[in-house]
Amino acid sequence: DQQVKQNSPSLSVQEGRISILNCDYTNSMFDYFLWYKKYPAEGPTFLISISSIKDKNEDGRFTVFLNKSAKHLSLHIVPSQPGDSAVYFCAASETGTASKLTFGTGTRLQVTL
Amino acid sequence: DAGVTQSPTHLIKTRGQHVTLRCSPISGHKSVSWYQQVLGQGPQFIFQYYEKEERGRGNFPDRFSARQFPNYSSELNVNALLLGDSALYLCASSWGDWTSETQYFGPGTRLLVL
């Protein structure tokens, strides 16, 4: 039972353009969402998070949008840079189990020159 | 500051053997969680320890166990290894154990079971 889904296994975007990575969830108890980036041979690196009381959070080039009614969140990267090429994981947790993250299967982003 | 460290980085074992993986959290962090990442999948939660007590357990068999020491480092033990235990084992630490706490991951231990 996949509670967090990333339906696009891969995405290719030109440098300077916007990258949009999507994530859907089924568990309505999730109230905290995170995005992690992962390079090969490294652990996931925290990028940005959002609480369910918000619908948008920005940090530099990264913005996360949350649509609770649709159980959908997205990560926007503007402008995309070659160094952004990595696997991006969406993760979620619910109150009381903050350290138990449920991850999606990841989206491999390739930013081309 | 040192991040989360894990040892060993790579490990090869045979079926039926036992393995111990180690994790040192970021200084000041009291919570450690363990995840298993199988190729092509996202990390899957195994255990969480906070202040040396088990706070959460994922859907893994009893062959998997863990503990946390007074210095907040942690060990993950897996008994009677199966081929399907081959994976990247990730450790994550955070300061506390409440919603909005960000977990920081180590580089992982890659386990291959032959």
Q: Smallest Cβ distance to A32: which of B35, B56, B100?
A: B100
* Chain A interface with B: residues with Cβ < 8 Å: 4, 31-32, 34, 36, 41-46, 49, 51, 89, 91, 93-106
Judging contacts by C-beta atoms under 8 Å, the chain A residues touching residue B103 are 46, 99, 101
Min CA distance, B101 vs chain A (Å)?
Answer: 7
The confidence score (pLDDT) of residue B33 equals 94
CA torsion B35-B37-B38-B39 (nearest 10°) is 180
Q: Are B56 and B48 in contact (CB under 8 A)?
A: yes
* pLDDT per residue as tens digits for the range A5-18: 999 999 999 999 99
Q: Do B44 and A34 touch (CB under 8 A)?
A: no
Tell me: pLDDT of B95 over 90: no
Residues of chain B with pLDDT > 90: what percent? 83
* pLDDT per residue as tens digits for the range A41-98: 889 999 999 999 999 999 999 999 999 999 999 999 999 999 999 999 999 998 776 5
Task: State mean pLDDT over A20-49.
Answer: 94
The confidence score (pLDDT) of residue A61 equals 97
Q: Smallest Cβ distance to A89: which of B42, B55, B100?
A: B42
The confidence score (pLDDT) of residue B38 equals 94
Min CA distance, B16 vs chain A (Å)?
Answer: 27
Task: State mean pLDDT over B50-64.
Answer: 92
| Strands in B1-114 per DSSP E | 5-7, 10-13, 19-24, 31-37, 44-50, 53-57, 64-68, 74-78, 87-94, 104-105, 109-113
Q: Do A98 and B107 touch (CB under 8 A)?
A: no
**What is the per-residue burial (b if ≥16 Cβ within 10 Å, else e) of B7-16?**
eeeeeebeee
Tell me: pLDDT of B100 over 90: no
Confidence grade of residue A3 (pLDDT, cut at 50, 70, 90): very high
The confidence score (pLDDT) of residue A97 equals 67
Q: Do A99 and B92 touch (CB under 8 A)?
A: yes
Residue type at B41? Q
Task: State mean pLDDT over A102-110.
Answer: 96
Task: State mean pLDDT over B7-16.
Answer: 97
DSSP code at position A17: S
**Residue B59 touches partner A, C-beta closer than 8 Å:** no
